[in-house]
Amino acid sequence: MNRTSHPILSMVASRVGLGLLSLLIVSLVIFFSVSLLPGSYASAILGQNATPEAVAALETRLGLDQPAIWRYLSWLGAAATGDLGQSFAGRPVMAVLGPRLLNTITLASITAVIAVPLAITLGVICARFRGRFIDRFLSTSTLASISLPEFFVAYLMMMIFAVKLQWFPSMAGIRNSMDLGEQLYRMVLPILTLLLVILAHMIRNTRAAILSVMSSPYVEMARLKGESEGRVVTRQALPNAIGPIASVVALNLAYLISGVVVIEVVFVYPGVGQAMIDAVRNRDVPVIQACALIFATAYIGFNLLADIVSIVSNPRLLHPR
């Protein structure tokens, strides 16, 4: 048992270490990229008529007069404990982003619950009926979907379902005072748009991952034993294609957290992406840095999860000789 677990544990530990190192490098890029933007943040807050003394006093109060490396280390240490600092508006960053983050996670979770099983099922169907009408139809549809930018898909959904048919509202401005049904009703168009954006990638890659193992010896042996093509695909090919499928699913789940900025802006959805756009307009640097760090952590975390699933599902590591 120990001999079997050693290679898996060492590879998982190395992936976790690389993930943490990647997050550290990304945090450096985030902090110094924002810090190197031209102009004075204090001057932007106080306005053009502010005196140099007032600007200097505000920079001192915000800690902007400290060396950049010291500000980075202080920010990183606080962020590691969950403290993302104070926004320039005077509120804690987590108080600003907390409700927005919950809204983004809710939107992404509902989309993922629908998208993942649907994409895997459709990918299996395409592999099972390769070359037939259903495979050609889904392959053509997914290729067309991939070719369209998400903002175009969002405006297309808005034009069809909100303007023409008037089935759903064009703005997804949910509030805590709304009941769950009203919130879900307003989230339909953002969810539908995200589904169309991510389903195509997952379906095509699920199909490709299954077909890549269909010529393996164990698949041929299953066929020789008289198993039906459907059982061969679901019992033999699909389990051995879990690693590549998990990687694609993880990448698309990462997109749901970090790539919803455009969708949230189009539908005026009160999530982290919309908060980041507002912070850029107001030059609220701590909020911008916090949003970027959240997106980066989600992206790296889901990729790390995909690596771990690929390692654990590898038969050569589970049953080493």
Q: Please give the pLDDT value at position 76.
A: 82
User: Taking a C-beta distance cutoff of 8 angstroms, is the pair 251, 155 a contact?
Assistant: no
pLDDT at 320 over 60: no
User: Taking a C-beta distance cutoff of 8 angstroms, is the pair 255, 58 a contact?
Assistant: no
Q: Please give the pLDDT value at position 3.
A: 47
Where is mean pLDDT largest: 85-89, 189-193, 246-250?
A: 189-193
- What are the CB-based long-range contacts (under 8 Å, 24+) for 308-312? 308/12, 308/15, 309/242, 309/243, 309/246, 309/247, 309/250, 310/243, 310/244, 310/246, 310/247, 311/8, 311/11, 311/12, 311/15, 312/8, 312/12
The span from the CA of 309 to the CA of 7, in Å, is 14
Task: Find residue 86's DSSP bridge partners.
Answer: 92
Tell me which of 270 and 4 has the higher pLDDT: 270
User: Taking a C-beta distance cutoff of 8 angstroms, is the pair 64, 41 a contact?
Assistant: yes
> Got the DSSP string for 176-214?
TTS-HHHHHHHTHHHHHHHHHHHHHHHHHHHHHHHHHHT
Task: Find residue 92's DSSP bridge partners.
Answer: 86
Q: How confident is the model at residue 109 (pLDDT cuts 50, 70, 90)?
A: confident
Q: Which CATH superfamily is domain 2-20+102-318 in?
A: MetI-like (1.10.3720.10)
Question: What mean pLDDT do residues 30-59 have?
Answer: 68
Calculated CA dihedral for residues 41, 46, 52, 58, nearest 10 degrees: -70
Maximum Cα–Cα distance across the chain = 85
Q: Please give the pLDDT value at position 1.
A: 44
Q: How confident is the model at residue 148 (pLDDT cuts 50, 70, 90)?
A: confident
DSSP state of 130: T
Q: Please give the pLDDT value at position 50.
A: 66
Distance between the two ends of the chain, CA-based, in angstroms? Answer: 12
Q: Please give the pLDDT value at position 229.
A: 66
The span from the CA of 77 to the CA of 97, in Å, is 19
Where is mean pLDDT largest: 57-61, 225-229, 285-289?
A: 285-289
CA-nearest of 272, 281, 283, 289 to 68 is: 289
